[in-house]
Amino acid sequence: GAPHRHATCHSWLLDRQLADHLPAGSNILAFQRRFTAFGARPVGDDDVLEFVFHTPPGTADLDRLPQTTTLHRALVRHLRTGGHWRTAHGWTELP
């Protein structure tokens, strides 16, 4: 068959709000720049908490989550101030 020309990703890692909370040189932001976003951006708070903090959906106690990395602090700070993280879809051309 024909080689694949594109890859897609659906993840909280593509949430453009992360650029407001992480250093410009972060690996997450470099990963985001590889993708063109498309489609809906549903709330993804549970996805973030489960992936980063290994907390089952609906059980996170923000006061008890680790704050050891820039990412940890940014994620929790945003939630504490009433923000929500979003999941997003993106595509990229393959080499």
Annotated domain spans of the chain: 6-93
Q: What is the pLDDT of residue 2?
A: 81
Q: For residue 2, give the DSSP letter.
A: P
Distances (CA, A) of 59 to 3, 62, 73: 43, 10, 18
Give yes or no for residue 1 having a pLDDT over 90: no
- Give CA–CA dist 15/43, Å, rounded: 10
- How many C-beta atoms lie closer than 10 Å to residue 80's C-beta? 10
- Give CA–CA dist 29/22, Å, rounded: 8
Nearest partner of 17 among 3, 32, 2, judged by Cα: 32
CATH number of 6-93: 3.40.630.120
Confidence label for 46 from pLDDT (cuts 50, 70 and 90) = very high
pTM equals 0.90
Give yes or no for residue 71 having a pLDDT over 90: yes
